[in-house]
Structure 1
Amino acid sequence: MGTTQSRFIDGMVRGNLQNVKDLWKGASVRELDPNQDLNHSLNREIKNTIFHYACYHALTTIVRDLLMAGGGSYTSVRIKNAAGQTPVHCLLSNHTAAQERLNILKELLQYRGGEDGPVNLNEKDNEENTMLHLAASNGLKECSLFLINRGLGRFLDQENKPGNTPAAEAESNGYRELAAEMEGFIVFVEETANVTNRTNFFLDEIKAENKAYETHSGMRLQDIRNKKDQMVVAVSSFLYGNDISPEKLFNAECLLQAYQWNTASLQQAWLTNSQQACFKAGITLDCKRSGSGYKCLTCGEGNEPEASPAERRQPLTDPLEAEISNSLQKSPKNLGQILREFRVKGHNPGKIMKAFNKAQAWVMSSSAETKQQPPTDPLEAEIAASLKKSPKNLGQILTQFRAKGHNPGKIMKAYNKAQAWVMSSSTEPELLDDKPKINLIQMNACGHTFCSTCWKRYLEVKIKDGQVQSIICPAFKCNHRVPSSIIDYPLVDKNKAKRYMKFELRDFVKENDDLQWCPAPGCDVAVCRKIGTDGKAIVGNTADCGDGHFFCFECKGEPHEPCSCDEWTKWQEECKTVSQKLGGADSKQDAASMATMLWLQSNTKQCPKCKSNIQKNEGCNHMTCRSCRHEFCWICMATWSTHGSKTGGFYKCNVFKGAGPTDNRGESALAKKKLEDSKRFIHFIERFKAHNDSKKLEQKMVNSAKTRIEEMQKATVKNVDTIFVQIAFRELYWNRIVLCASYVKKYYSKNAANHLSKSLMVRSERKNAFLPGNFDDLQASLETATEALSGAIARKRWKSTRARVVQLTHAAQQARNQFLNATLQRKKKSEVKKQERKASLKTDRTSFECSRCTYLNKNGGSECKLCGAKREAKKKPRNAAQKPSKSSTPSTSAVDYSKQITLLMSMGFDDVSKINKALIASGGDVEAAVQRLV
């Protein structure tokens, strides 16, 4: 059974806590030394004392009794076990009884200590774990927060031997909420005003730098449509002046499509021969209908030509009605006169009255005065209303209105007028032709007419095939374009109309040299090339659509600045060739396998018989394979027995093998060259793949990092902008792109490596002077800045503050821009801003001619409304002596318009005096002069 002390020690070591608590009440157990190694009797090298075990099991009563033993001067809180852990470390090494551990921790930190002093919060165990590491790894949230508040927050960014911070330890053990909170204390540490201001300054600098060097801008579908409409309106105003009718806008769009949306080419073609330009675009110059039609040219359905009201009436077939109508047409008569006239001829009075009503209505509708105004007389209006409700003869009307006290004579006169008005506005089948009309749609340009059904079928087939730019008139041998006003709802189904608009924008981007669709799957963003103040595209082909997709604007492949598209293609093909030989995998092991394979190919040959790799270490060409003992010639790889005088000697082979070497000297030179090339390729492919693999891993971490930062923000502080996370990963990704391409550029620049390094010049932003720069130095600086940023953000849990991350992001961006400025020889940010200030003419509303497309911008502005090029700054004289005086200013009539006169004469205007007058009146504006001459 053992003694009480031995049973107590065994319970402590084995974790039998109930027996330990019962045994601790005994006096003999309390006599044990609290600093004694309990494992010594069990032959274990753990060296845990009673105090270690009491803290590990969170035995509050025993811990308090030990702290009070000997007046509080006997128990050591600094004694370490074999793992280098103090009792406080053991207390935080177990995840059970979290509240009891927090209470014990507070008491331990209040303990003044024995002979060796109180608790040392800076103590680390043999694995470099601080107290905060152990508390985090066991999910003791309250203990962790208590330690942070007691000053252990300085250890939040420290790593133990495995390389984990306290937050990373919590993450690896499944305590994600605690990890986010601890990480938040690091990232969103309370900043001073100076640190906050400096951080915001760096963020503004990063954004301004990106904007200054931005070569392309992303455009949504609505932005693309706006740009397209702006170009159409600008060209329409150039061609037709202020007339922006739908026909003119359609003509301008067709002309732009015919000339691939190149305004300069269109303007030149228009000024040279406008008729030919219109023919190429499939439109007419005057925008007027050239014909009329009333039948569909496809199915033959249609309407008769418009007829007069008399023609639209069917002729009277009854002889009595026809005779009465003839009498009425000769001279107006009332019903009484007609009755007297036709009763004499033997006609029945009832039939005369019926025939009179129809004849009178027919005569009234066929006369020039058919479109009568509604009756104004109250009696006529009342009778007309009664007739419209239900047909009535004269007798019924007389009976109805005599009862109301009206005079019979007035009733008869009012009846005649009311009946004529009602009949003229009637649409009864027996009087009017009620055949439904066919909806015909006519082309304005060519006059060809088709019914809506045929149009619908034709357009839907074209839209389904995606031929939105080749929709021409369906008529035979007619190349006139169908206007977009026809290709619209309700003639075309809504979905088809939307599809047409989408295809139209697709073709607009496809044909425009300054626009490209983002090649990323599912991305509907187009990228527009930015134009500088000089009218030329800004240097740089790396495009960012705005949704995190980078690509090369020229080849639509991966971005590869600073190397060219040809160099990038060659590199990809070379890597693909080697990768296929290795099996096509893409990992770090492949780089080592690639190096081994290339070395074997360059320095060894395979035995013709057993295919073993053999390295030549002597000068003799007579080789013997150690595996199969096969003898062969190193030069031609043929069996050695075939060599002799026929091959030029046993040790000199002249057997023709293409352009290969025929002696040892040539073979050695070739082998040496292969070895150098393989070493060089291995050097660059290893570094390229290292950055490429890092780029892929870091790209996967973007979304997870953003989510983690939001969790940190919720757990620690509120209302802190997390945009710096996206900016940091964006800059890191861009740096990886540049670093990958930098090795490709250096690889293909081996013949001009010295020239490449010497030609690099770096401009200091502060000192406006050029400093010599070396390609390798700039590349090394870029790599250093990139790896520093990657070490801060591309990890499971961050250990850098927000201010530090922003600072590293700014440094990485500066290193990249410095490298690209030197390799691409692009303008510096200071130069870009200087040019923008010079070109900032927002308040200048004077007209100017664009230097890029020669379009006259009448309302002024800072950029051309047609092509978007920046307006050139006006050159100011250096001193007052150079300013032209008013007296020296040439008069309007003395201005030389020889170029404009030549241009107008080539357009068909032959009267020089009229041309000169028109140019003077228009101030030299060719477009305005043409309008005056026309």
Structure 2
Amino acid sequence: MDSDGDLQNSRSETSEKAFYCNDEDDCKVGSEAEDDDQHDVGDYDAFDEAEPISARKAQLPFTVLAEQDIKQRQEAAVESVMSVLLLSKTQAEILLRNFDWCANQVHEKWFANELSVRDRVGFLENPTIKPQVARLGEMECRICLEYHPIKMMQATACCDHLFCLSCWGGYAHTSISEGPGCLSLRCPIPGCNAAVGDNLILSVASQEDKKKYRRYILRSFVEANKMVKWCPAPRCENAIEFTSESGVHDVACACGHNFCWNCLEEVHRPVECTTVAKWLLKASAESENVNWILANSKPCPTCKRPIEKNSGCMHMTCTPPCKFEFCWLCLGPWSEHGGETGGYNTCNRYEAEKKDGKHREDEKRRRMAKKSLQRYTHYYERWASNEKSRTKALSDLKDLQALQLEKLIDIYSLPASQVEFIRDAWLQIIECRRVLKWTYAYGYYLPEEDDAKKKFFEYLQGQAEAELERLHDCAENGVEAYLGANAPTETAFNEFRLTLARLTAVTRTYFKNLVKALENGLTDVESSAPEASSKAKKRRKKGKSSRGDYSSRLMDEDGNWYCWHCTFANTGTSTTCSMCHHENS
């Protein structure tokens, strides 16, 4: 789209900061990127990974490698092997591909046992078969068995087996068409282990085959390196090198696609990759269809085809060709039913069998299936709803940057930096929607019997969600009021700026706490869960005085106090925080 470039150019330095960090050290893990700006490229999807406002610019734990970057690394490795082992470029390339493009490993193996390495990669010093000249100035090709001028014959760099250029071209074409195995070609003569170098293949291959071959060489570097992976976005040819040991695998490609480097799915922090895999499989599999059928239908007594009863009486008729008529309740033939069995709306026979426990297992299984389906539907609908809201927020941010921010700048004669708080709020909303979405997958897999953890999780999730809704409402509806012909005064706009910025900060704090709690496995449940125990109540009551002392220490010279919970600055006369409503006790 035409506006994508405008969006990526508008991204500020905050796009290079980690959104959530386990601790400050996590944010300090840096990449080895040569170009500091290479992560600041992408379409509006790059807002999937919003970041907070921070004075400290954290280094990113990954490096985006474009095709040219990969080639430079390959060339550097080739130069290293050539200079140390005094080999040709072709030989250095063959060695590196056999040792995962690791120059140090090549050096180590070569000096440890050169003969073994030569045998492994196909560097023959003494060819076993010598070619024979059959005619003056001509030679027989061992593939097509025809005679060609010697200048039209070619051998590998490691043996003396000569073949005509036409046969070499056919051999190269067939091998390249079969896939990356062409990178380890050997001499066509049976029993000859001599390696075929890149220079020979590229000299006889067609333009299309050359392009494929070079692509295989490029991909071999990435696929041999455990710390480098291709970006999974369609049509993206970038690779991502991961350099962090923090355990956080969220990365952002220059194409704008954000994903988890570990599992290659979308960014899903704070949920683990295994949970994401189970959730996505469940969402796409037929398991819930089976549950729905079990919960809402019964099998025909004759053909066993599932039948749903959505209205009407108990008289059921199976579809053709079965056409069996039966009672919905007891599943007996309808011919045995009538007024004496309860008529069309009840079944005395079923009630009697129910008392005897005949249908107990079927009903129990049906109830369990229905309960399971309802529980899954509850979490899935909220997961999908937050994804829909996140997508809508991305679209709103795009419109905001394309139209509304410029209007605000013109109306109030402001520099661009003075409206950046609005963009920061939307970035926060987008990221929080993503986090909130995945907390529902987390909640679904929480053990139902662990009631304390479940309540604590729902409490944290509810608090964070409530703050997010306040922020979203303010960002969505607040800006509109300042765009019309009767726009409020600049003083009112400054008040709106403070309100939105504070809401952004508070929401960030809530979600940071939520993410930290979930990543720690809700280990604070005993002391933090609301109404968890009488001891917890006493601890909280006792803690009020200490928090009061803490709040009294956090007062400025004008007597304003800072909330111990969200750090909002309140007037000295207020007793509750105007932002998060916690008491200043």
Distance 1:813 1:274 in 2: 59
Q: TM-score by structure 2 length?
A: 0.57
Q: Does residue 249 of the first structure (1) align with residue 249 of the second (2)?
A: no
Decide whether aligned partners of structure 1 residues 551 and 650 sit closer, same or farther in structure 2, where only a CA change above 3 A counts.
closer
Q: CA deviation at 1:739?
A: 2.0
Distance 1:244 1:807 in 2: 64
Match of residue 203 from structure 1: 53
Asked if the contact 1:635–1:662 (Cα under 8 Å) also holds between the matched residues in 2, the reply is no
Match of residue 237 from structure 2: 524
Which amino acid in structure 2 is aligned with residue 663 of structure 1? K
Q: 1:244-297 CA deviation, whole Å, 9 max, x = no partner? A: 64245224322224xxx57899899779866555544x33287x9899868554
Q: 1:439-479 CA deviation, whole Å, 9 max, x = no partner? A: 55432223433454544454345445544644514522344
Match of residue 200 from structure 2: 486
Decide whether aligned partners of structure 1 residues 475 and 700 sit closer, same or farther in structure 2, where only a CA change above 3 A counts.
same
Asked if the contact 1:469–1:504 (Cα under 8 Å) also holds between the matched residues in 2, the reply is no
Asked if the contact 1:632–1:640 (Cα under 8 Å) also holds between the matched residues in 2, the reply is no
Asked if the contact 2:268–2:434 (Cα under 8 Å) also holds between the matched residues in 1, the reply is yes
Q: What RMSD in Å do the two structures reach over aligned CA positions? A: 5.0
Match of residue 553 from structure 1: 261
**Partner SS for 2:327:** strand
**Partner SS for 2:200:** coil
Asked if the contact 2:315–2:326 (Cα under 8 Å) also holds between the matched residues in 1, the reply is no
Q: CA deviation at 1:691?
A: 0.4
Q: 1:48-67 CA deviation, whole Å, 9 max, x = no partner? A: xxxxxxxxxxxxxxxxxxxx
Match of residue 783 from structure 1: 465
Distance 1:487 1:795 in 2: 64
Q: CA deviation at 1:711?
A: 3.6
Q: 1:192-240 CA deviation, whole Å, 9 max, x = no partner? A: xxxxxxxxx96345853xx4xx554432112222344455556x38xx8
Asked if the contact 1:290–1:445 (Cα under 8 Å) also holds between the matched residues in 2, the reply is no
Match of residue 439 from structure 2: 742
Q: 1:885-927 CA deviation, whole Å, 9 max, x = no partner? A: xxxxxxxxxxxxxxxxxxxxxxxxxxxxxxxxxxxxxxxxxxx
What fraction of aligned residue pairs are identical, expressed as a percent?
A: 20
**Partner SS for 1:203:** coil
Q: CA deviation at 1:749?
A: 2.2
Q: 1:367-418 CA deviation, whole Å, 9 max, x = no partner? A: xxxxxxxxxxxxxxxxxxxxxxxxxxxxxxxxxxxxxxxxxxxxxxxxxxxx
Distance 1:728 1:514 in 2: 34
Q: CA deviation at 1:697?
A: 1.9
Map 1:562-711 onto structure 2 (within 5 A). 562-576=270-284, 602=295, 612-613=309-310, 625=314, 632=327, 634=329, 641=336, 663=358, 665-666=360-361, 669-708=364-403, 711=406
Asked if the contact 1:789–1:808 (Cα under 8 Å) also holds between the matched residues in 2, the reply is yes
Map 1:65-214 onto structure 2 (within 5 A). 203-205=53-55, 208=58, 211=59, 214=60
Match of residue 123 from structure 2: 284
Map 1:839-850 onto structure 2 (within 5 A). none
Decide whether aligned partners of structure 1 residues 631 and 499 sit closer, same or farther in structure 2, where only a CA change above 3 A counts.
closer
Distance 2:500 2:193 in 1: 62
Match of residue 720 from structure 1: 416
Q: 1:539-597 CA deviation, whole Å, 9 max, x = no partner? A: 13443213321234344343433334443344334434689969xxxxxxxxxxxxxx9
**Partner SS for 1:745:** helix
Q: 1:832-862 CA deviation, whole Å, 9 max, x = no partner? A: xxxxxxxxxxxxxxxxxxxxxxxxxxxxxxx
Q: CA deviation at 1:747?
A: 0.6
Map 1:835-914 onto structure 2 (within 5 A). none
Which runs of no fewer than 5 residues in structure 2 stay unpaired? Answer: 1-50, 134-138, 318-324, 338-348, 483-492, 522-585
Match of residue 64 from structure 2: 218
Match of residue 513 from structure 1: 226
Which amino acid in structure 1 is aligned with residue 247 of structure 2? V
Distance 1:813 1:251 in 2: 52
Return 547-556 or 263-272, whichever deviates more. Answer: 263-272
Q: 2:172 aligns with which of 433, 437, 459?
A: 459
Decide whether aligned partners of structure 1 residues 531 and 252 sit closer, same or farther in structure 2, where only a CA change above 3 A counts.
farther
Distance 1:795 1:809 in 2: 15
Match of residue 161 from structure 2: 448
Which amino acid in structure 2 is aligned with residue 222 of structure 1? Q
Distance 1:612 1:481 in 2: 71
Asked if the contact 1:560–1:737 (Cα under 8 Å) also holds between the matched residues in 2, the reply is yes
Match of residue 823 from structure 1: 518
Decide whether aligned partners of structure 1 residues 279 and 244 sit closer, same or farther in structure 2, where only a CA change above 3 A counts.
closer
Decide whether aligned partners of structure 1 residues 803 and 612 sit closer, same or farther in structure 2, where only a CA change above 3 A counts.
same
Which amino acid in structure 2 is aligned with residue 819 of structure 1? L
Return 543-552 or 468-477, whichever deviates more. Answer: 468-477
Distance 2:65 2:507 in 1: 27
Which amino acid in structure 2 is aligned with residue 449 of structure 1? L
Decide whether aligned partners of structure 1 residues 612 and 709 sit closer, same or farther in structure 2, where only a CA change above 3 A counts.
closer
Match of residue 540 from structure 1: 248
Q: CA deviation at 1:756?
A: 5.3
Q: CA deviation at 1:733?
A: 3.5
Which amino acid in structure 2 is aligned with residue 502 of structure 1? R
Q: TM-score by structure 1 length?
A: 0.38
Distance 2:500 2:124 in 1: 62
**Partner SS for 1:571:** helix
Decide whether aligned partners of structure 1 residues 443 and 650 sit closer, same or farther in structure 2, where only a CA change above 3 A counts.
closer
Distance 1:677 1:556 in 2: 29
Q: 1:75-104 CA deviation, whole Å, 9 max, x = no partner? A: xxxxxxxxxxxxxxxxxxxxxxxxxxxxxx
Decide whether aligned partners of structure 1 residues 824 and 553 sit closer, same or farther in structure 2, where only a CA change above 3 A counts.
same
Decide whether aligned partners of structure 1 residues 670 and 544 sit closer, same or farther in structure 2, where only a CA change above 3 A counts.
same
Match of residue 139 from structure 1: none
Which amino acid in structure 1 is aligned with residue 197 of structure 2? P
Distance 1:206 1:824 in 2: 24
**Partner SS for 1:486:** helix
Distance 2:240 2:257 in 1: 11
Distance 1:466 1:265 in 2: 26
Distance 1:709 1:736 in 2: 22
Asked if the contact 2:172–2:201 (Cα under 8 Å) also holds between the matched residues in 1, the reply is yes
Distance 1:277 1:814 in 2: 57
Which runs of no fewer than 5 residues in structure 1 stay unpaired? Answer: 1-200, 305-437, 533-537, 583-596, 616-623, 643-648, 655-660, 759-773, 827-934
Which amino acid in structure 2 is aligned with residue 221 of structure 1? E
Q: CA deviation at 1:694?
A: 0.8
**Partner SS for 1:523:** coil
Which amino acid in structure 1 is aligned with residue 53 of structure 2? L
Which amino acid in structure 2 is aligned with residue 444 of structure 1? A
Return 463-472 or 548-557, whichever deviates more. Answer: 463-472
Which amino acid in structure 2 is aligned with residue 739 of structure 1? L
